A = this chain, B = another copy of it.
């Protein structure tokens, strides 16, 4: 079984030869995968995983993903080094420091701090993936750095799209397709959702912002007045840090 062989040189066909490159289109489908066989990449590009990439790049000591607003609020008592970020349905919850906007994750705000983050979809996907060999965070911001690292791991890869309320969304799927675009010539075996994600990326890649404009989330974002956030999250390779889950916190992969 190629899957179990660790080599110091890429096998013929590339690093990923014979390994699985799968896409889980929504957190509701995670139970269909044996996540312990994979490195999982969690994807919630509008805006949780983009903000996480940006925050870790900008020197946040850690970002702690939690499922519930109450769990987030409980960190208030632990001291001033914690910044509390809570968002539901795309809006900052009353009484919290901030939500998911990447503009809240600048060096001025997060350097040396620990951010406690609860979001609608991304945190949910993270928690359901906790048995993975490793969980890393992906977004257009760290696309190339992430893919270069993934290629070197010689492991099965599962791209988990956070989606919207447990259902499929286009933006996370399109990003999964962008990751596949980087990896597909390395010999990985793609499942049907991975083939679909990459084909959708081909359809949208010439102008991703325009393509996503027709989606449901694009509409929601416009209503919330956060088009600037969308444009920010679609910047490719603004960062190189790869956030990785270590215990209950996301830290910079070193």
The reply to whether the CB of A223 lies closer than 8 angstroms to some CB of chain B is no
Q: Is the beta-carbon distance between A32 and B203 smaller than 8 angstroms?
A: no
Q: How far is B170's CA from A200's CA once the two chains are assembled, in angstroms?
A: 12
Whether A166 touches B29, Cβ cut-off 8 Å, given contacts A202-B203, A203-B203, A216-B191, is: yes
Q: How far is B29's CA from A28's CA once the two chains are assembled, in angstroms?
A: 7
Residue ID in chain B nearest A197 by CB atoms:
B196
Q: Is the beta-carbon distance between A192 and B217 smaller than 8 angstroms?
A: yes
Q: How far is B199's CA from A170's CA once the two chains are assembled, in angstroms?
A: 11
The reply to whether the CB of A125 lies closer than 8 angstroms to some CB of chain B is no
Q: Is the beta-carbon distance between A28 and B25 smaller than 8 angstroms?
A: no
Interface of A is mostly: helix
Which bucket holds chain A's interface residue count?
20 to 34
> What sequence of 0s and 1s flags, for each residue 198-226 of chain A, a beta carbon within 8 Å of any chain B beta carbon?
01101100000000001111000000000
The reply to whether the CB of A167 lies closer than 8 angstroms to some CB of chain B is yes
> What sequence of 0s and 1s flags, for each residue 214-248 of chain A, a beta carbon within 8 Å of any chain B beta carbon?
11110000000000000000000000000000000
Give, as a whole number of angstroms, the nearest-CB distance from A230 to chain B: 15
The reply to whether the CB of A164 lies closer than 8 angstroms to some CB of chain B is yes
Q: Which residues of B contact A216 (CB under 8 A)?
A: 191-192
Q: Which residues of B contact A29 (CB under 8 A)?
A: 26, 28-29, 166-168
Residue ID in chain B nearest A216 by CB atoms:
B192
Residue ID in chain B nearest A22 by CB atoms:
B167
Whether A193 touches B215, Cβ cut-off 8 Å, given contacts A26-B29, A200-B200, is: no
Give, as a whole number of angstroms, the nearest-CB distance from A193 to chain B: 5
What 8 A-B pairs come out closest when comparing CB atoms? Answer: A168-B193, A170-B192, A199-B203, A169-B192, A32-B167, A192-B216, A192-B215, A25-B168
List 17 A-B residue pairs with CB atoms under 8 Å apart, sorted by A's residue number. Answer: A25-B168, A28-B28, A28-B32, A29-B168, A32-B167, A164-B192, A167-B191, A167-B192, A168-B196, A169-B192, A170-B196, A173-B196, A192-B215, A195-B214, A196-B200, A199-B199, A202-B203
